[in-house]
């Protein structure tokens, strides 16, 4: 056989192999190969569903068709597949509107309703609808009121802005008055911490305005946190949050809220009390640090003035310095420095412990929410029974063995 004939024969064989491979390629459950091309086929149930879908849409009035982007002339020319494709492209709200307009007294309409319900479930939610509960909470923390807008509870916005705004405004006014009196008190105590009627009057005014300032700020913060939690509790998105997600989010917003949501009410006072106690300890140690820092600075100033007085050869016209700190020189500078550093160290440690208490609160709410669905039914059991076996070796032959068997049912 000549070389040219061999080449032609090889090409024919290769073409035949390629054709067979194409004709025998894997086919899906809804396709068939006819005439070398793949064609889509329908089962009877699928055809009935598509026909019922078309019948249900055709049965709508002109207003309903117009709301969905159809018209009567278009429906007559479109196939069932084209109608289904158009319906899948519609937003969820339009599909819901179509579901409400279908008649209930027709079998075909009932099948169309089921088909539309299935199509509705497969449609991905829009970006606005797909914001989960965690993002809602974080955005609400930055932009108060976003959660209420997302949940379409607009009537809560005036309450939110009025309570938070009033608390911040009054707190800022009282803070200015507090800072004014504090500067006057500091200017006096930095020179001499001796108790006088003027100092007592200034401190009384400072404490009064500080108390009011704290109450206003606490009210504003409480309102702010409450409305963040309200946005999480009334979350109205298309991605329903799990119980674990909601409990964890609430515990992050406010310590103890997750425990209350889980129904573990006895834990809430422990968490809230522990958190409040640690905040008080931080404030206590910070006030102690400020007190002994002032006393230490005054004592150092007295020691320096005493050295200058002792070093002066001519003390004419000089006044012997006297201690001006609140302890009147009873404590040395090193002792006051140690007290100052001790209070500062305790304050910093208290801040770390408070952060740990907060994390434990979140972890407890998360784990407790998981345990709410933990199966503790009678189907869970563990049995320990004696077992008798036989162990065979070539040297000793069969040997009886004794032991315990562990059976777990779940």
Give the number of other CB atoms < 10 A from CB of residue 157: 14
Q: What are phi and psi of 99, to 5 degrees?
A: -60, -35
What pLDDT is recorded for position 318? 78
d(CA 289, CA 301): 18
Q: Look at 147 and 85; give whichever has higher pLDDT.
A: 147
Question: For the residues 152-177, what does the mean pLDDT come to?
Answer: 93
What mean pLDDT comes out for the span 243-263?
91
**Res. 376: pLDDT tops 70:** no
Where are the domains positioned within the chain? 3-39, 44-122
Euclidean distance between CA atoms 129 and 132, whole angstroms: 8
Percentage of residues in the chain having pLDDT higher than 90: 33
Mean pLDDT computed over every residue of the chain:
76
Q: 289 or 48: whose pLDDT is higher?
A: 289
The answer to whether 335 touches 344, Cβ cutoff 8 Å, is no
Residue 397 region, left (φ>0) first, then alpha (ψ -120 to 50), else beta? Answer: left
Q: Give the separation between CA 60 and CA 151, rounded to whole angstroms.
A: 32
Q: How far is it, in rounded angstroms, from Cα 398 to Cα 410?
A: 35
- CA dist., res. 4 & res. 230, Å (int): 85
- The answer to whether 256 and 276 are in contact (CB under 8 A) is no
Instruction: State which of 184-188, 194-198, 379-383, 389-393 shows the largest mean pLDDT.
Output: 184-188
Q: Are 44 and 111 in contact (CB under 8 A)?
A: no
Q: Against a cut of 0.75, is the pTM above it?
A: no
Mean pLDDT: which of 14-28, 78-92, 268-282, 306-320 is highest?
A: 268-282
Pick from 67-81, 216-230, 313-327: least confident: 67-81
Q: Quick check: 361 pLDDT over 90?
A: yes
Q: Is the predicted pLDDT of residue 59 greater than 50, yes or no?
A: yes
What pLDDT is stored for residue 287 in this prediction?
92
The winner for highest mean pLDDT among 18-27, 53-62, 162-171 is 162-171
* Averaged pLDDT for residues 57-68: 60
Q: How confident is the model at residue 271 (pLDDT cuts 50, 70, 90)?
A: very high
Percent of the chain with pLDDT over 70: 64
Q: In whole angstroms, what separates CA 48 from the centre of its chain?
A: 46
Contact 231, 147 (CB under 8 A): yes
Helical H segments across 190-322, by residue range: 197-233, 243-253, 257-262, 267-311
């Amino acid at each position: 056989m000549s070389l040219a004939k061999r080449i032609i024969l090889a090409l024919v064989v290769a073409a035949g192999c390629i054709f067979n491979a194409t004709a025998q390629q894997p086919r899906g459950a809804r396709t068939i190969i006819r005439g070398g091309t793949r064609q889509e086929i329908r089962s009877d149930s699928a055809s009935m569903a598509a026909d019922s879908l078309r019948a249900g849409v055709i049965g709508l009035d002109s207003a309903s068709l117009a709301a969905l982007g159809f018209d009567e002339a278009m429906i007559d020319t479109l196939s069932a597949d084209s109608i289904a494709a158009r319906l899948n492209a519609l937003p969820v709200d339009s599909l819901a509107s179509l579901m409400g307009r279908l008649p209930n007294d027709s079998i075909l309409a009932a099948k169309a309703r089921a088909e539309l319900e299935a199509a509705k479930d497969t449609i991905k939610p829009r970006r606005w609808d797909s914001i989960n509960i965690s993002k809602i909470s974080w955005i609400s923390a930055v932009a108060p009121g976003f959660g209420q807008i997302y949940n379409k509870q607009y009537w809560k916005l005036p309450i939110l802005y009025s309570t938070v705004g009033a608390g911040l405004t009054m707190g800022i006014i009282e803070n200015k008055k507090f800072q004014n009196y504090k500067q006057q008190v500091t200017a006096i105590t930095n020179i001499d911490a001796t108790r006088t009627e003027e100092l007592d009057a200034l401190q009384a005014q400072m404490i009064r305005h500080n108390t009011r300032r704290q109450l206003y700020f606490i009210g504003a913060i409480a309102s702010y946190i409450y409305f963040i939690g309200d946005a999480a509790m009334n979350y109205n998105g298309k991605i329903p949050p799990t119980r674990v997600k909601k409990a964890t989010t609430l515990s992050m917003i406010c310590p103890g809220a997750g425990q209350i949501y889980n129904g573990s009410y006895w834990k809430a006072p422990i968490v809230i009390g522990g958190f409040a106690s640690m905040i008080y300890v931080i404030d206590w140690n910070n006030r102690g640090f400020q007190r002994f820092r002032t006393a230490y600075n005054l004592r150092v100033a007295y020691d320096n003035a005493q050295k200058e007085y002792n070093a002066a050869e001519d003390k004419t016209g000089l006044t012997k310095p006297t201690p001006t700190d609140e302890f009147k020189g009873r404590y040395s500078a090193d002792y006051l420095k140690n007290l100052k550093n001790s209070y500062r160290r305790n304050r910093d440690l208290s801040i770390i412990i408070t952060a740990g208490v907060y994390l434990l609160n979140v972890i407890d709410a998360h784990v407790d929410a998981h345990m709410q669905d933990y199966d503790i039914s009678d189907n869970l059991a563990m049995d320990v029974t004696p077992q008798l076996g036989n162990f065979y070796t070539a040297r000793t032959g069969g040997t009886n063995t004794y032991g315990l068997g562990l059976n777990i049912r779940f």
